[in-house]
Amino acid sequence: MKGPLVIVGDALLDIDLEGTASRLAPDAPVPVLDGLVEHPRPGGAGLAARMAAREGHEVVLVTALGTDDAGDRVERLLRADGVRVVRLPFDGPTSVKKRVLGSGQPLLRLDSGGEPGTVLGVPDEVRRVLTGAAAVLVADYGRGVTASPELRELLTSLPGRTPVVWDPHPRGSEPVPGVRVVTPNAAEVAQLCDRLGIAAHPGASTLAAVGQQAEALVRHWRVQAVAVTLGAGGALLSYGRGTPVVAPAPEVHAIDPCGAGDRFAVTLALRLAEGTVVTEAVQDAVVTAAHYVAAGGPSSIAPDQGAERRASDAPTSVDDLVRSVTARGGVVAATGGCFDLLHAGHVATLRAARRLGDCLVVCLNSDASVRRLKGPSRPLVPADDRVRVLEALECVDAVVVFDEDTPVETLRRIRPHVWAKGGDYAGTDVPESAVLAEWGGQAVALPYLEGRSTTRLVRAVNRTVNEKESTR
């Protein structure tokens, strides 16, 4: 990526007050929270900046913060993450959103400083930052940044080669003309279209209505495309004409969707900065947002005690998933193998393994590892493709590739509660049993689906080819 990701928008201070909810109050049917701990983090455009910085990207945040303690706190948190903060002169307060959570479940939100302010000018530094950007993400939270005429003029005049992603807000300003992609969610589309008098066909299905409204918004805003996020339904991408593209989301279990829209928009902007075409960038953004909420949403990004960590130390999605499941008392199941030419036996084993826990992590042999185990003619399918096939299965929550002959070190990293092997190990010692015992895990053997194996498939194919060759 040549240049930083520049994020322009309203930064907030988000605070999670989290405790353990194990009993009800004697005088009212409400939970009592014990052991309250405060976790502050940047919110709004600040959360988007933190996400990108934790991945190792150069990030500049152009934002308006109040001259108050909350504003200074947001800036300190961001700078600790390596984000360069450019503050706009602003006459409003810093917005603070405080969530109260019991055992990870949001119970209540308390907001303060919600009055929008006015940006009192745009420093020359902002023009220099925007000119050197690899991509620009506008994170509009309706607090006044995107209403600045000077800033809007600068965004409108950006060269066509600079992709601009605009994440809108019903109380915010309209995107400037020429934006590459606008990313409202379905509820925001409904509100925006209602305000603009844009109606879908009376008999249209929900998806058809969203498509018609997105197409109308492309024309109204004079932007290149609108990608409507649909939660578990993925995203619908419209170019204002022709058939829209729907990018489906993987099925995940999510308790806290907070920040999913920011995760989608950040990934989209980064992929466009790398030169990815819009349809592929939207699909990548959908998958990344799904993994983000599955990993626990905001809790997957370390709170302030870890704010000094750099992106190179940030956990992967597999680590986030395992941490999230374990934190809520769930069971992590894992299995492993080459999974070269996925067949019915593989699927039966994977489904059975998934039923042993609340998530399933597949430890996959790398190409080099498969060659050492199976010979120089294998694998038939490269690791990247094997990962994609496995991730497409509803019973698989995450895949991690290992390069050693055995997944022992990977198991030490993820520490599953259960390690499942195929039924051909029944009654024998599973090689990984000893390492599972280090943390009290259990290795088990699963029923074997007779007659299914990749080796048999390869032999059958070779036999068929040879028979055809001999008849020529």
Stretch (H or E) spanning 470: helix 454-470
Distance CA 61, CA 46 (A): 7
Instruction: Determine the number of helices (DSSP H) and then strands (DSSP E) in the chain.
Output: 15, 18
Q: Compute the Cα dihedral for 305, 308, 312, 317 and give only its sign.
A: positive
- The residue from 262, 320, 340, 367 that is catalytic is 262
Report the phi/psi class of residue 406: left, alpha or beta, with left for phi > 0 and alpha for psi in -120 to 50.
Answer: beta
Report CA-CA distances (Å) from 391 to 209, 261, 284: 30, 22, 13
How is 341-369 classified by DSSP, letter by letter? S--HHHHHHHHHHHTTSSEEEEEEE-HHH
Q: Omega of the bond prior to 257 within 30 degrees of 0, cis?
A: no
Q: Please report where in the chains the tokens 């929550």 appear, as a residue.
A: 397
- Going by C-alpha positions, the residue among 383, 249, 413 that lies closest to residue 321 is 413
Cβ–Cβ < 8 Å for 236, 214: yes
Distance CA 132, CA 360 (A): 43
Catalytic residue at 262? yes
Cβ–Cβ < 8 Å for 93, 39: no
Helix 124-131 to helix 149-156 angle (10° resolution) is 20
- Residues near 188 by beta carbon (within 8 Å), at least 6 away in sequence: 168, 169, 170
Q: Give the distance, in angstroms, between the CA of residue 7 and the centroid of all CA atoms in the same chain.
A: 18
Residues annotated as catalytic (active site), given as ranges? 262
